[in-house]
Amino acid sequence: MQPDPLPDPSAPAKRPVAQWERALLAAWFAGTTRTGIDAIAAAYVSERGRDDPRLRNTIVIAGRHKAEITYLIHCPLGESDWILTSGETEEELGRFRSLQDALGTIRPHRPAFQPSSIVSHLKEPLASATSQR
């Protein structure tokens, strides 16, 4: 077994992802689809000891397969912008003022649970049922 690669000392340090940012990531991920062409198989913060050290404090977004890193998002230490890069080419795709903006570039946020849509569907059959009496 080969040892894990060491982080690039010339690469800028990445700040840790805060708890509220993790909650935002979880809410965004809950609103994505798991199958089809727009599938998001996984979204997580890389921080485990066995993860690639170069990805430490980076948000990893996997496309159709969990092993397929599609996007990477991080915030450099001492900065406030979030940087979105391609997981395949490592090319910078953009800088964003907020994590929500960066995630919205990948897939627009669709809440996993929308009570207003459920209520509107329930009212229609009830209205037609009561008007027939």
What are the tens digits of pLDDT across the range 93-109?
A: 999 999 999 999 998 76
- Strands (E) in 23-91, as ranges, are 42-46, 58-62, 69-74, 82-86
Q: How far apart are CA 113 and CA 125, in angstroms?
A: 21
Domain boundaries, the chain: 19-131
Identify the residue with better confidence: 6 or 73: 73
For the residues 6-30, what does the mean pLDDT come to? 85
Full-model pTM: 0.74
What is the structure's pLDDT at 64?
A: 82
- Is 75's pLDDT higher than 90? yes
Q: pLDDT, tens digit, for every residue of 36-67?
A: 888 899 999 998 888 888 999 999 999 888 88
Q: Looking at residue 130, what DSSP letter applies?
A: H
